[in-house]
Chains A and B, each alone.
Chain A
Amino acid sequence: MTPDRDLPDDEVTRLLAQVMHDEVDGLPVSNDSLSRIQARAAEGTGRAAWRWITPLAAAAVVALVATGVVLLPHGGSRTSAPPASSSLPTRPTTAPPQPTPSSTPTRSTSPEPTPTNSGPTHSSTPSDGALSSACIGAGDRGYAYYVSDLNGLGPRLYRAIVRTSCHLGIEEALTVPAGKDADYTSPWPAGTKVIAMGVSGYLATVNLSAFPQTTPEEELAAVQQLVFTVTANQPSISRVRLLVNGQAPRGTLDWTAPVHRAPLLDTLSLVWILTPGNGATVTSPISVRIYGTGYEGMIPLQIVNVADPNTIVASGSVVTQMGAFDEATTTFDLPPGTYELRAFNDSGADDTLTLWDTRVFTVG
């Protein structure tokens, strides 16, 4: 930042600058911005002379619209703007350019701090941006997201707590570890490996050995699965660029740009059962912890005996949030046995309940 001795300039304001850059740098900008400006300016004037704007527009218009504010520092244009990113890909129309590791942006501000609070713990924090096969970001307690289409409404992401062996949980997300919910899947081809990974500021670049060949919906979920996993395990990362054997992934959709998290309500399962864990043995009264959202926040719960799954032995509900995710807890008294807990919500449009998550557990 250009020094100005009269204005506050310390670590805190540098953090503010970094948060702002993380928020808006590389936002996807309408491709037709310049032509829309030209069309509007020419209306009623009969003038088509754009010689004056050409040199300005070529560098400036896109940059200004991208940032959304007229901020050409000292009359110049950005020369190191990160690549545009998006949570949604576009269908490829031409052969995509081949990104290279050297295209990852660098930051002029200090690196974002590693969280020291209740976030996941990791053995090291990658920071130099160079792609490496070295193990980075292993931790005893981290997160991995998995895909399930339990209710037939389309693939949704579910989060699980895992021990992250390497690469910020990507390995655990690629292959569902034994013992996790049987409904959790990973659309990634069996045997997919992380060839290399690098982190530069808010951008992680991951080079994988394979890419899902599946429907666009499942491909979208697979990519978001990795984006949510990486950003959950290292919150200073907000975007992920995927490579497959060093090149842009060749799937149904175009993944040449870095990807950030897609909107939660369109991506995540709307209800998760946090406890009891799948296959857990617990004692009555059992504690049921739910994370979710529903109409008026209501999450109906049902418990059936696995030996007689058509008979509901207990039911209840918890209240979370409407239009936002929240946690809620309740308890059930149950005799010894093996049960399945089912968690629902409803859209508010009718009385139909949608099943979002299940857990099998044993009361000892």
Chain B
Amino acid sequence: MLLVRDLATAEEVVQDAFVGLYRRWDRLRDPQAAIGYLRTCVVNGSRSALRHRGTVERTMPRLRPAEALDDPSSAVSTRRDVLEALAALPERQREVLVLRYYGDLSEAEIAEALGVSRGAVKSYASRGAEALRPTLESLR
């Protein structure tokens, strides 16, 4: 959901991951590796879904989300702003932030899920957090 911003798509992506895992179960080297496999499948599936959606949305007019103007309390809008800013981050930064700060994964687990080095995870996390900092500061 945090990666694709749409519950139906999120469900599809997760289902695809489980179906893929089932079909590859016999080739899985270690049952304990299943979770890592699922994480990687969901991240990759989310990327594919976003790319497909991007192609569709480029041909459609954009409307400002109504929620942004809903309530006179700016705190509601600010929370929405954080999620909008998260969605606008480069793909890798967004994935690292979601896996770390929502999924509570370690640097090593994130590196394995994304197929990148631990140094890259650190870099993506720092840059992503810095990019969101101004918006998050307004929530404090």
Query: Using a CB–CB distance below 8 Å, which chain A residues touch chain B?
Result: 1-2, 4, 6-8, 11-13, 15-17, 19-24, 27-30, 33, 36-37, 40-41, 45, 52-53, 56-57, 61, 64-65, 67-75, 112-113, 115, 117-120, 143, 231-232, 235-236, 263-265, 293, 321-326
Contact = CB atoms under 8 A, between A and B. Distances in A.
B63 interface: yes
A6 B122 contact: yes
B54 to A, nearest CB: 18
B35 interface: yes
B38 A321 contact: no
A135 to B, nearest CB: 21
Contacts of A30: 11
A15 B136 contact: yes
A4 B107 contact: yes
Nearest to A109: B101
Contacts of A263: 66
Contacts of A13: 101, 129, 136
B23 interface: yes
Nearest to B18: A37
Contacts of A7: 100, 107, 121-122, 125
Most chain B beta carbons < 10 A, residue from A8, A236, A323 = A8
Nearest to B17: A70
Given A52-B22, A70-B43, A235-B79, 11 more contacts: A2-B106, A8-B126, A16-B101, A23-B79, A37-B15, A64-B17, A70-B17, A70-B39, A119-B72, A232-B71, A235-B71
Contacts of B66: 263-265, 293, 323-325
Contacts of B106: 2, 4, 74
B15 A36 contact: yes
B64 A324 contact: yes
Contacts of A22: 79
Given A2-B106, A19-B79, A21-B102, A324 B97 contact: no
A90 to B, nearest CB: 16
A16 B79 contact: no
Contacts of A17: 101-102
Contacts of B100: 4, 7
Closest 6 CB pairs of A and B: A68-B10, A68-B1, A71-B103, A119-B73, A235-B75, A70-B42
Contacts, number: 201
B101 to A, nearest CB: 4
B4 interface: yes
Contacts of A15: 82, 136, 139-140
A334 B5 CA distance: 50
A69 B19 contact: no
Nearest to A264: B66
Interface string B7-50: 10011011101110011010000011011001101110010000
Contact of A56 (B2, B34, B109): B34
B102 A115 contact: no
B74 A115 contact: yes
A28 B25 CA distance: 29
Interface in B103-119: 103-107, 109, 118
Contacts of B22: 37, 41, 52-53
A17 B86 CA distance: 12
